[in-house]
Amino acid sequence: MTLPIERSRTRRPVTWLTLIGVLLLPVVIGGILVAALYNPVERLDALTAAVVNEDEPVTIDGQMVPLGRQLTAGLVEGSDELDSNLTWRISNAEDAEEGLADGTYAAVITIPENFSAAATSTQPGETPERATIEVTTPPDSLIVDDAITAQVATAAAGTMGAQLSTVYLENVFLGFTTLGEQLGSAADGATQLADGATQAADGAAELPGGITALADGTAQLSDGATQLAGGAGQLAGGASSLQSGLSTIAGKTRDAAGGAQQLADGVTGGATELEQTGLVPDELYAGADMTATLAGDTEAAAAKTLELANRCFAVSSDPQLCVDLVTQATITQKTAEGAEQAAQGTAGGLRAFDTGATTEFAAQFREIAANVSTLSGGLSQLAGGIDQSAAGAGELASGAVGIQTGANGLAAGASQLASGADQAADGATSLADGVAQLADGTGELASGLATASDSIPTYSDAEATDLASVVADPVEAEGVGTSLFGASAVPLLATLALWFGGLGTFIALQAVSRRALTSRAPSALLALRSFAPAAGIGALQGFLVGGVVQLAASYSWAEWTVFTLVCVVAGIAFAAVNQGLVAVFGGAGRWVSALVGTLAIATGVVSTVPGVLAGVAALMPTTPAYQGMVAALTSASGLGAAIVGLVVWTLLGLGATILVVARRRSTSAQDLLKAVPAAA
């Protein structure tokens, strides 16, 4: 069945099949684009990627840390925040290379051998190193495949990095707590040290006075030692003199002992001779007189011995010796007195002897001789004792000399000690000042440590874990979708589908009626007659594109209704603009239309296009259609302005078509002769 609609570039009639094809063109284009590109993250499992784990686990504190395996598991299992994930295969380097070459794998992620070592290099004593993974894609990969695999790998690496940072920061925050406690302990210790330093300063302040007193006492000690040395020298001299005198007395005592012994021997001999003779000779009288004289001398010697014995108590350290000397001297004196009396008696007795018993007289002589012999033995003993006293006096002299030497050394040492004590007193004063400064500094240190301890925050294990998780990932973006194209993808695809649908309409239909020259109808009416079927097709195209979008995106009915309304208006406006382009430029107008569609694609994908292209795109008829659809599906404003813009472009397109129709209604005779079927 044919329709009264002119076909472009041919006089063949337009059929319903032609209209249906033109009508479905944007639906097919939009459906294909939406089905292929809308929300591709829901179909990530169609991409197959390989993981090559070459990581060597490390051991920390006796526990193996296989971070490469953990990252591999994270990639394969995906994230709870995403609805889908790539299809992952755990592979090796050779298989991954072959899979990239033959198209089996859309990407290969290689975890290097030192991944765990580098990721844990923040441990004490380690050189920090950044852990890296390598993402490889085939050279013929599609446009968005690289972005998808890079996004997945970056997300996995970021998650792993956040976990490692969380553990590290948790240890840091717990270290703050430990540091604060240790600084508190250090502050307590510094306070105790300050107290001790203060006490030491007080003691050091008293030390100079004590050392000065020591110096004074040491000086007195030196003086006393000097006096002691002098007295010891005098004692040594007296002891030496005593030794000399005792030695002299001992010699004389030995001489007296020898004389007494001779006397005893003589008396004994006389008694014997008297007994033998029985008569007293004249010589006996002389002997008696001599005996009296000798007895007197003995008495005098005994008196002198007694005097020396009495002086022994002053010089001898052995009192018993002196007692023995006194005793012997007394005996000797008495004996001498007796001898003198005996001698005197002997003189008288000799005369009486003549008439007395010679035997009794002789016996008395023998008794006298025995006593004198006893006196001689006592004198010998006295001489020995005096020798011992002399030896003791010598030792006393030697000891006194030693005392004198020691006292002199003590005096010299005490003098040096006094001088050193004076210097020590000066040093003790400096020490007291230094210890006082130390006490002040230690007090300030204790105060500073206490302030530092109070200033350092403390955390429990739970608080450290929560804070570390926040600090490791301090910024979180809300409202960021997981779609690679965002909310503007559907408006852009729908705009392109309707625009190329309008272009397709005027590839099939005639933009300016061939009857414009012969028709009597007004130019505007002729233009509207050509526009009416295209406008109807554009409106239907907009409605059908809205339906296809709803099937794919499932918007709310309110959003879909407004979106579909904008699509219908855009379909009508695009039909008018494409009609005007073809009417004005002929076949070149279709090239211009294709260029407009290309610019819409180029400026609608990313905002980093050059400013010139963005400025040109803002003037194109696709811009208000795109903005209106975005406003219909999102909270963006500009819906009314977009509708107005589409209406303006519709009027501009119709105006251009009317002008072309009016121009074609006049011609020359030559053109009539050359007239051929219009091809526009």
Residue-level pLDDT at 679: 44
pLDDT over 90 (residue 652)? yes
Quick check: is 394 in a domain? yes
Query: pLDDT digit string (tens) for 599-645?
Result: 888 787 766 778 888 888 888 999 999 999 999 988 888 899 999 99
Residue 635 burial (CB < 10 Å; 0-12/13-18/19+)? exposed
Lowest mean pLDDT among 160-164, 267-271, 507-511: 160-164
**All residues at 6 or more sequence positions from 306 whose CB lies less than 8 Å from its CB, including other chains:** 326, 329, 330, 332, 333
Q: Give the model's confidence band at 582: pLDDT under 50 very low, under 70 low, under 90 confident, else very high.
A: confident
Q: Give the model's confidence band at 254: pLDDT under 50 very low, under 70 low, under 90 confident, else very high.
A: confident
The first and second tokens of residue 250, run together, are 């001992």
- Among positive and negative, which fits the CA dihedral 8, 14, 19, 21? negative
Residues 23 and 77 in one domain: no
pLDDT over 60 (residue 668)? no
Quick check: is 478 in a domain? no
Residue-level pLDDT at 475: 44
User: Which tops the pLDDT comparison, 240 or 27?
Assistant: 240
pLDDT over 60 (residue 4)? no
CATH of the domain at 89: 3.40.1710
Mean pLDDT, the chain, integer: 74
Residues 231 and 149 in one domain: no
Residues 134 and 272 in one domain: no
Instruction: Report the 10 Å Cβ neighbour count for 322.
Output: 20
User: Which tops the pLDDT comparison, 340 or 191?
Assistant: 191
pLDDT over 60 (residue 164)? no
How many domains in the chain?
3
Concatenate the DSSP letters of all residues of 186-254 into one string.
HHHHHHHHHHHHHHHHHHHHHHHHHHHHHHHHHHHHHHHHHHHHHHHHHHHHHHHHHHHHHHHHHHHHH
Chain-centre distance for alpha carbon 513: 90
Residue-level pLDDT at 480: 43
Lowest mean pLDDT among 172-176, 272-276, 579-583: 172-176
User: Which tops the pLDDT comparison, 286 or 492?
Assistant: 492
Quick check: is 292 in a domain? yes
pLDDT over 70 (residue 673)? no
pLDDT over 60 (residue 399)? yes
Quick check: is 472 in a domain? no
Quick check: is 680 in a domain? no
Residues 32 and 48 in one domain: no
Quick check: is 469 in a domain? no
**DSSP 3-state assignment of 302?**
helix
Q: Which amino acid is at 666?
A: S
Lowest mean pLDDT among 288-292, 319-323, 493-497: 288-292
Residues 553 and 491 in one domain: yes
Quick check: is 190 in a domain? no
pTM of the predicted structure, to 2 decimals: 0.48
Residue-level pLDDT at 624: 94
Contact present, 246 and 389 (Cβ < 8 Å) = yes
Residues 135 and 28 in one domain: no
In the chain, % of residues over pLDDT 70: 66
Residues 291 and 306 in one domain: yes
Residue-level pLDDT at 532: 87
CATH of the domain at 385: 1.10.287
Q: How far apart are the first and last CA of the chain?
A: 24
Q: Give the model's confidence band at 385: pLDDT under 50 very low, under 70 low, under 90 confident, else very high.
A: confident
What range defines the domain where residue 394 resides?
210-449
pLDDT over 80 (residue 533)? yes
In the chain, % of residues over pLDDT 90: 7
Give dist(CA 213, CA 200) in Å, integer.
20
Residues 32 and 166 in one domain: no
Concatenate the DSSP letters of all residues of 85-136 into one string.
--EEEEE-HHHHHHHHHHTS-SEEEEE-TTHHHHHTTTSTTSPP-----EEE
Contact present, 678 and 584 (Cβ < 8 Å) = no
Residue-level pLDDT at 281: 65
Give dist(CA 617, CA 613) in Å, integer.
6
Residue-level pLDDT at 481: 45
Return the axis-axis angle of helices 622-633 and 557-585, rounded to nearest 10°. Answer: 180
Residue-level pLDDT at 587: 79
User: Which tops the pLDDT comparison, 140 or 627?
Assistant: 627
Residues in the chain: 680
Query: pLDDT digit string (tens) for 69-114?
Result: 887 887 777 655 554 466 888 889 889 888 888 878 878 889 888 8
Residue-level pLDDT at 672: 54
Residue-level pLDDT at 601: 81
Residues 498 and 374 in one domain: no
Residue-level pLDDT at 478: 41
pLDDT over 90 (residue 646)? yes
Give dist(CA 309, CA 324) in Å, integer.
8
Residues 279 and 426 in one domain: yes
Quick check: is 546 in a domain? yes
Q: Give the model's confidence band at 121: pLDDT under 50 very low, under 70 low, under 90 confident, else very high.
A: confident
Residues 380 and 441 in one domain: yes
Residues 349 and 401 in one domain: yes
